[in-house]
């Protein structure tokens, strides 16, 4: 029973890290990153459709992202969706593809993005700690059914697991900050 609770906690903590990685992917650095467009939804013939379902992406150079619509008639809708997404990018189209040029980040904008990244990392750490708290409560509720030593060992294992996951988020944060400070 304790092993099941710990396995479930590990899965939830892994999901928290995966979510944090996804959130980090949405923060624009000075380089072109197709992950930035994954949240954009386009009004495609009256239906809200994720951009990746109606267009392909390529990165021909470090600061350029090219969006190639599968249906050329959707180019205006895609361009409008990118503009309203408030990514700080100005799309330009030539009738076939949409080009997104990534401007150099200012020092002030870099600091804002780092602040945002730190906030997202803290949300990830909080999610991991919440999993720990709920699992610890579940383990303590078993105290009558299993020995006190088993409960203490499980709590120690849970804490070690939590520390590893929080450390992983800290590593991801350090990498993202380094990427943002890169000129």
125-140 pLDDT, tens digit per residue, is: 999 999 999 999 999 9
**Cβ atoms of residues 102 and 32 within 8 Å:** yes
Element (H, E) at 148: helix 148-181
d(CA 51, CA 43): 9
Domains assigned to the chain: 2-25+106-181 (1.10.132.20), 34-101 (3.30.1360.40)
pLDDT beyond 80 at 88: no
pLDDT at position 183 is 62
> pTM above 0.75?
no
């Amino acid at each position: 029973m304790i092993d099941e609770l710990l396995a479930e906690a590990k899965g939830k903590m892994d999901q928290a890290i995966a979510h944090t990685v996804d959130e980090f992917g949405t923060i624009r650095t000075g380089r072109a990153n197709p992950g930035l467009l994954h949240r954009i939804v386009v009004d495609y013939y009256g239906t809200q459709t994720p951009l990746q379902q109606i267009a392909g992406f390529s990165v021909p150079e470090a600061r350029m992202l090219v969006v190639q619509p599968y249906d050329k008639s959707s180019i205006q809708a895609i361009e409008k969706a990118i503009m309203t997404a408030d990514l700080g990018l100005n799309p330009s189209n030539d009738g076939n593809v949409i080009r997104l040029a990534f401007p150099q980040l200012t020092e002030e904008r870099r600091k804002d993005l780092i602040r945002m990244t730190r906030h997202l990392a803290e949300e990830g750490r909080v999610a991991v700690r919440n999993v720990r708290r709920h699992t610890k409560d579940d383990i303590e509720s078993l105290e009558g059914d299993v020995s006190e030593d088993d409960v203490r060992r499980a709590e120690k294992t849970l804490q070690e697991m939590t520390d590893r996951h929080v450390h992983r988020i800290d590593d991801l944060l350090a990498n993202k900050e380094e990427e943002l400070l890169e000129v």
